[in-house]
Structure 1
Amino acid sequence: GKTYEVPFYQTVDGGELQYDCVLPYEKWMGRAPVDLSLLCEREGCCKVEPLPGIFLCSDVKLRPPYVPSVQPVALIPSVAERLAEVEKVLFPMAEYEPYSDSMTVWRDRGALKVYFPLDKSDLRRDYRNNDVTLGRIVDILRQIYADDRSDVGKILIVGFASPEGPLGRNTRLAGARAEVLKEYVNSYLELPDSLYEVANGGEAWGELRDRVEESTFDCRDEMLDIIDHTADLGRREWLLRRLDGGEPFKDLLRSVFSDQRNSGYMRVYYTSEPDYNAIKINRAQGMIAEGDFDGAVSLLRPIREDKRCLNTLATAYYRLGDKATALDLFKQAAAMGDKVAIQNLENIENDY
């Protein structure tokens, strides 16, 4: 349904006229085998004479021009995000809030706890599981700092003491235990003071109540009633000591208070940059789909050191008609194991 005209050239008798004519591929051409003939005519000043036609070929099966494939790139989590999946001590900075008495940090099952002997604030690596815990604390922080896309936003350390003994002494002990843990971490990493929030949780009555409620103590309900309805902490402890001849309090000493003689609980809040390169690559693929090949090249060229962008960048160049640059980039991507680039390169080199 279309006519393609050959530009006029003057020739002398017996001369030759050579020309190329390129017909764009259209969808109908691929539906069935195509025959190709050239109809010829000679046009003078006064008349048009038909000439014998030229039969070129028959039963030609045409395929559309090859369009390289691209594949969306998955966003790679930062080190902090990856660690947070297994280290429950890590929280995104967006969830940070200053410590308050209502914060039930002891319920963080993944919290890192460092234990102290009775009535002591000396940090001993050889006490209970302290050596492993202290090593984990430092290792987590070091991994975050080593990643360009991760950072520490805040380190919250809450010190506690068990409710046994004088309130004033326990409060001072809880604060000292939290401070000594901060000093330990800082001896390895030398972090600015602004990153730390060292809070004194005092006597760990909230945790004690949770432990009693989960227990099977004979006087469980009576203990909970004392804890819930006695505001004076000194009297609260006195009543627990006197309950049922002191046996329930001995149970607390054996099974609960020993675990509360710790520095408290540690939360590390982190900041994390998105995987901007992956976001740009996926956006460039959308631009290619919309025909904005120049825009895709401009977006990806600054990040071409990221091997994930090579196949998409090559595709943009290929669609622009710069086959040489495209092939070079496809080869680089294929050499790095990009399966989509390997298939693209194979199709192009085999004259798809």
Structure 2
Amino acid sequence: MMMIRRLYIAPLFLLFFAGNLQAQKTGVQITGSSIELQDDSVHIGFILSAAGLRTDYRMDITPILYTDTNNLYLPAARIAGKSHLRLQARKQALQGKRSENQDNRLAIQTTVAGEPLRYTASVAYEPWMQHASLRVDVQMKGCCRSELLPSGLVAKDIALVVPQATRPEPNIPEPVTVSLSAAELLVQTETFVCPIAEFDSDKATGMFHRDREALRVYFHQNKTVIENGYRDNAVTLERFDKALRILQGDSVARIGKILLVGCASIEGSLQHNQNLAGKRAEVLKDFAVARGVDPQRIEIVNLGEGWDELRDLIAESDSMPYRKEALRIIDTVPIMKGRELQLMKLGGGNPYRWMMKHLFPLQRNAGYIKVYYEKR
């Protein structure tokens, strides 16, 4: 006879706001939460909806069952604006990629902003879950930025009580519950984490700057020291650190490779920029090694001066003066035959000064960070 042990949580209405959005507060609403313990499985359910989410953004929600000593990441959920979904579909069609929910990645429970999502998950019961708590981590992503919203408490000190049986239950076979590894859950929300099978093809492309799924850490001109307050470095490093911790704690998967590509803008001597790009990638390697990553699993590519990226940035610009002339110089003049000098002389130096202000800062980065996991 199957014993049903239940804890019903009074309907919750939780709203977590992003504090720096001035025009309209944005947050996640959770209602109708409940937890049921049936035999050896814990069943979790609640209703998700988004408030004030822009149509070109999405929210990635990760529920976490936790105590002081244990964490269990549940399957992620996603609420996306219609424009964001259309843009992703268009990009995938142009790049010939499969859906982001395919390619060895399990489907995310998803809904369109404005429609509720009935979230459900089942996990195998373990003794530490008695008096555990449940929270959700929320990350908002869109065309212009990625922002971690405050975590929200769904239930605290959950007591999975065994009530007296009132009537016998029919002998129905239990459904098979798929147990996901931490790595498989992580790739649902972090696109810079990939299966090891993708490593060789990613490295072979060479055009690392076109990969929008990779992480980037930016540096000031002629610097190799990471500053958390510069651009989005703080959020980027937090995501990188979190991925490393999750993979190192996974009993099924582990870090197979980390690919770091260093890059520099073109101003200055070629040899100096080559050294600068290499040191920027080494700084990210030190960051990973300090967190327990085996140095032999880290591969560095020194891209040196980012001429391919600069050409793409110029081609995409609608406001750069002498744009066509600059593209002609890049396409026809070899680097060692004075390419940069001709750009500096073009139009009395105005195009070069414009690039120094608008384009070169985008190239001063450890230009590519991707983490690849493999089975233990």
TM-score by structure 1 length? 0.54
1:186 equivalenced with 2:289 (yes/no): yes
**1:126 CA drift (Å):** 3.0
Contact 1:80–1:272, Cα closer than 8 Å, also in 2: no
| Alignment match of 1:205 (pick from 298, 301, 307) | 307
Q: Residue 94 of structure 2 aligns with which residue?
A: none
Shift of 1:73: 3.0
> Which of 215, 222, 226 is the equivalent residue of 1:119?
222
Offset of 1:132 from its aligned partner?
2.1
Equivalent residue, structure 1, for 2:317: 215
Cα 1:258/1:233, change in 2 over 3 Å:
farther
**What per-residue deviation string (whole Å, max 9, x for no partner) do you get for residues 179-216 of structure 1?**
111112211x2222211101211011111111111111
Please state how far the C-alpha of 1:135 moved relative to its aligned partner: 1.8
Tell me how far apart the structure 2 counterparts of residues 123 and 135 of structure 1 sit (CA, whole Å): 13
Structure with bigger gyration radius: 1
* SS of equivalent to 2:366: coil
Q: Is the 8 A contact 2:258 2:371 kept in 1?
A: yes
- Quickly say closer, same or farther: Cα 1:222–1:71, change in 2 above 3 A: farther
Q: Is the 8 A contact 1:154 1:197 kept in 2?
A: yes
Question: Distance in 2 between the 1:232 and 1:130 partners?
Answer: 31
Unaligned runs of 5+ in 1: 1-66, 274-352
User: Aligned-residue CA RMSD in angstroms?
Assistant: 2.3
Evaluate the alpha carbon distance shift between residue 70 and residue 170 of structure 1 in structure 2; reply closer, same or farther with a 3 A threshold: same
Structure 2 Cα separation of the partners of residues 109 and 100 of structure 1? 14
1:307-318 superposed matches below 5 A: none
Cα gap change, 1:165/1:72 in structure 2, threshold over 3 Å: closer, same or farther?
A: same
Equivalent-residue separation in structure 2 for 1:214 and 1:140 (angstroms): 32
**Structure 2 residue aligned with 1:243:** 346
Cα displacement string for residues 250-293 of structure 1 (whole angstroms, at most 9, x for unaligned residues): 221111101111122111111147xxxxxxxxxxxxxxxxxxxx
In the alignment, the residues of structure 1 paired with residue 176 and residue 315 of structure 2 have an alpha-carbon distance, to the nearest angstrom, of: 49
- From 145, 148, 151, the counterpart of 2:254: 151
* Higher mean displacement: 67-76 or 221-230: 67-76
* Alpha-carbon distance, 1:154 to partner: 0.2
- Give ranges in structure 2 of 5+ residues lacking alignment: 1-169
- The question of 1:173 aligning with 2:276 is answered yes
The answer to whether the 8 Å contact 1:116/1:124 transfers is yes
Aligned equivalent of 1:94: 197
The answer to whether the 8 Å contact 2:321/2:350 transfers is no
Aligned residue in 2 for 1:25? none
Distance 1:102 1:164, change over 3 A: farther
Equivalent AA in structure 1 for residue 220 of structure 2:
P
The alpha-carbon distance between structure 1 residues 69 and 224, as it changes in their structure 2 partners (threshold 3 A), is farther
How far off its partner does 1:153 sit?
Answer: 0.4
- More relative contact order in 1 or in 2 (CA 8 Å, sep 6+)? 1
The alpha-carbon deviation at position 218 of structure 1 amounts to 3.7
TM-superposed deviation, 1:131: 2.1
The amino acid of 1:140's aligned partner reads: A
Aligned partners of 1:164, 1:204: CA distance in 2, in Å?
10
User: In 1, Cα distance between the equivalents of 2:315 and 2:190?
Assistant: 27
Post-superposition CA distance 1:200-242 (Å, at most 9, x none): 1101111111111111124222222221222225611112111
Question: Any conservation in 2 of the 1:159–1:176 contact (CA below 8 Å)?
Answer: yes
1:245/1:140 CA distance change after superposition, 3 Å: same
Counterpart of 2:358 in structure 1 is: 255
State the 1:137 CA deviation. Answer: 0.9
Which is richer in strand? Answer: 2
Q: Shift of residue 124 of structure 1? A: 2.3
